[in-house]
Amino acid sequence: MATSNVFGSREPITKVLAAATTLQANQSGTIFILDAAAGATITLPTLAKGLYFKFIVGAAFATTNWIIDSAEGDNINGAISDMGTTVANVPAVGEDQINFVATAESIGDFIELIADYDNSQWIVSGRCAINGGITATDPS
């Protein structure tokens, strides 16, 4: 849960991730900072009403991708803005995973995932600084 400051506004909870993990529904609302020399797989919890997660690249990683994986699969939809030299839209249509790509990541690249429980999907949005910095895939 977020905490309140002296002015009554809520401060977000941030957590640094440096290894593979499976998120729990009670971590909803957390901003996760990806901070390790090598990426890992982060598995989302089972889709439920009201869930929200944000992931931000906090440090360069050289060898493997950071992967945000849906527990159910085939239910990540939305779009990511690719702000590289050729500005593009990275569509996500019935995907299993969102990948922060090790060869193209930039500190500050991010995605947000919002649970659309009524339509059995995660809605993704985000932005990356270099072409190919974030991809949406369905490897299975």
| Domain count of the fold of the chain | 1
Strands 41-43 and 66-69, how do they pair? parallel
State the residue range of the domain holding 54. 3-137
* CA 65 to centroid of chain Cα atoms: 12
Query: Could you read off the pLDDT of 9-31 as tens digits, one per residue?
Result: 677 899 999 999 999 999 999 99
Beta carbons of 42 and 63 less than 8 angstroms apart: no
Query: Could you read off the pLDDT of 70-99 as tens digits, one per residue?
Result: 999 999 999 999 999 999 999 999 999 999
C-alpha to C-alpha distance for 3 and 115, rounded to whole angstroms = 22
C-alpha to C-alpha distance for 127 and 56, rounded to whole angstroms = 10
| pTM score, whole prediction | 0.91
